[in-house]
Amino acid sequence: MNVLSCVKRVPNTGAKIVLTEDNQRIDTSNLGFTMSPHEECAIEEAVQLAEDHGGSAHVLTLGPEEATEQLRTGLAMQADEATLLESGGEEWGPRATANAIADVIDDLEDEFGAFDLLLFGNESADMGNCQVGVRLARRLGLPCVTGIRSLDVDDGVAVAKREISGGEEVYEVDLPAVVTVKEGINEPRYASMRAKMQARRKEVSRREPTGEAGPGTFEKIRLEAPETDDSPAEILGEGVDAAPAIVEVLASEVEIL
């Protein structure tokens, strides 16, 4: 079973967000970068499926040269191959991203074999469009299931489960297929220092994406940074001696007692 997982380089989700003066972009000059939590789960799922069924796990991203950092994270998590669709620093919209990935899949399959599953995080941590996986499936004419927290594959069929209020939805789709996953589908493995060092020596395939960044489906007016709470913390006490003060806060300020 060959599985392709697609990820995106995004600003560190725990960092304080600062915008550029024109409110059009995030000022990344002092930010660290990572991949979205859902996408870590997509890589882990790809690696587990390859380990359980044989085959290989491939990780791909569209982004600048610096995005090789996220690809090497995937390699350290035991993905077998990595491909960078090397772009400039522009933000590619979902349609352009899906088209660029679709256009390179034939080349990748010629080199590495046909993909049985194409995995995505349900949404990226920065834009949250939930669009790329769906658009890629439509472009390739493949079945697509989104928001999945359980996935089993057997004899060319994937059984995917999605949580809903009061229960779950169960889908059966023939492979190949596109699946977008959420956190909770697995526990991404911790990459050891040795694995990280080995990943730095592995080759990352580089290809030029087709198309160009271009506008997305929606016109962006401006960005607004989320409000932050900079109020200082107050230590009410230690151990059981803090209990009366905590009760007072719950009763008078939170008003739940």
What are the structural domains of the chain? 2-207 (3.40.50.620)
Quick one: CA dihedral 100, 134, 82, 109, positive or negative?
Answer: negative
Quote the pTM value: 0.80
The CB-side HSE value for 209 (13 A sphere, CA atoms) comes to: 24
State how far the Cα of 179 lies from the Cα of 46, in Å rounded to an integer: 11
The CB-side HSE value for 210 (13 A sphere, CA atoms) comes to: 11
Q: Are 21 and 49 in contact (CB under 8 A)?
A: no
Nearest residue to 143 via CA among 93, 179, 94, 190? 179
Nearest residue to 102 via CA among 62, 55, 158, 42? 62
**pLDDT tens-place values along the chain, 257 residues long:** 999 999 998 888 777 778 888 888 777 777 788 888 899 999 999 999 999 999 999 999 998 899 999 999 999 999 999 999 998 877 788 888 999 999 999 999 999 899 999 999 988 777 777 889 999 999 999 999 999 999 999 989 999 999 888 899 999 999 999 999 999 999 999 888 999 999 999 999 999 988 777 665 667 788 887 777 777 777 888 888 888 888 888 888 777 77
Chain centre distance of CA 149 = 14
Chain centre distance of CA 119 = 10
Residue with tokens 């697609």: 6
Residue with tokens 């699946």: 179
